[in-house]
């Protein structure tokens, strides 16, 4: 069978699987049942055991699920889709985990050092991916995350001190600081620090 034919069959069976899944979910969650009689086109049908209809639906669902798995295997997704896409997915997952780790530590530190009375705002965002080459060793890949803090403040020295404390806290967590900025303007202090997490 051609790849187009395999894809068409896969999509048809997937639609059938979704349809039977919706019927079964309606039965399980909404309590929809089948009575012992039904009328269609003016004909009346008597059903001796309505529960057997659900066994038939489950059988159709199971058969369709097996067919979907077989068709998916026939499409050879591992060879059809390039490895680069798999690597990209892994990189995005790794970046997401790194941002979550930095956010957890950064927010814990910032909330304990910048009081709420100063009306602070914090932001943690993905910045970039970086590579560090160690002479005679393997390359180390990093996910770099920008952490920004802004609060009411009239002293630039306070901003520098808070930024320095934050850098030390991130380094203590095992991350590399690759740069940052500190500013005081218009009654507000701000800093942005880039923390890089090895992946």
Q: What's residue 104's pLDDT? A: 93
pLDDT at site 33? 67
pLDDT-derived band at 21 (thresholds 50, 70, 90) equals confident
The SS3 call for residue 80 is: helix
Are 50 and 38 within 8 A, CB to CB? no
With a threshold of 0.85, does the pTM exceed it? no
- Write down the pLDDT at residue 45: 56
> pLDDT class for 9, splitting at 50, 70, 90?
confident
Where does the pLDDT of residue 79 fall: very low under 50, low under 70, confident under 90, or very high at 90 and above? low
CB-based burial, 75-109: b 16+ in 10 Å, e otherwise: eeeeeeeeeeeeeeeeeeeebeebbebbbebbeeb
Residues paired with residue 2 on neighbouring β-strands, in sequence order:
none
What is the per-residue pLDDT across 28-46, written as a single tens digit (0 to 9) for each?
Answer: 776 666 666 556 555 565 6
- In 3D space, the residue among 115, 117, 21, 96 whose CA is nearest the CA of residue 61 turns out to be 21
Place of tokens 């399980």: 28
Position 42 scores a pLDDT of 57
The pLDDT value given to residue 103? 94
**Percentages helix, strand, coil for the chain, rounded to the nearest 5?**
55, 30, 20
pLDDT, tens digit (0-9, with 9 covering 90-100), for 50-64:
667 778 888 888 888
Q: What proportion of the chain, given as a percentage, has pLDDT over 90?
A: 37
Tens-place pLDDT, residues 124-153: 999 988 887 777 777 888 899 999 999 999
CA 68 – CA 13 distance, rounded (Å): 6
pLDDT score, position 92: 87
Instruction: Give residue-wise pLDDT tens across range 155-173.
Output: 999 999 999 999 999 999 8
Check residue 61 and give its pLDDT.
87
Tokens of 69: 């798995």
Decide if 196 contacts 178 (C-beta within 8 A): yes
Lowest-pLDDT range of 11-15, 48-52, 90-94, 163-167:
48-52
């Amino acid at each position: 069978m051609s790849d187009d034919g395999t894809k068409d069959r896969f999509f048809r069976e997937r639609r059938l699987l979704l349809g039977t899944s919706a019927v079964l979910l309606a039965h399980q969650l909404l309590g929809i049942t089948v009575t012992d009689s039904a009328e269609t086109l003016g004909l009346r049908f008597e059903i001796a055991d309505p529960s057997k209809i659900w066994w038939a639906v489950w059988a159709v669902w199971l058969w369709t699920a097996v067919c979907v798995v077989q068709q998916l295997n026939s499409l050879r997704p591992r060879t059809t889709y390039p490895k680069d896409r798999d690597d990209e997915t892994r990189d995005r997952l790794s970046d997401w985990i790194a941002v979550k780790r930095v956010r957890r530590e950064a927010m814990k530190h910032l909330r304990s050092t910048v009081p709420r009375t100063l009306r602070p705002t914090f932001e943690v965002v993905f910045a970039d991916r970086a590579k560090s080459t160690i002479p005679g060793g393997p390359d180390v890949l990093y996910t770099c995350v920008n952490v920004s803090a802004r609060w009411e403040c009239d002293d630039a020295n306070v901003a520098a001190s808070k930024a320095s404390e934050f850098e030390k806290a991130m380094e203590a967590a095992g991350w590399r600081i690759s740069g940052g900025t500190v500013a005081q303007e218009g009654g507000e202090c701000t800093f942005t620090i880039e923390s890089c997490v090895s992946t």
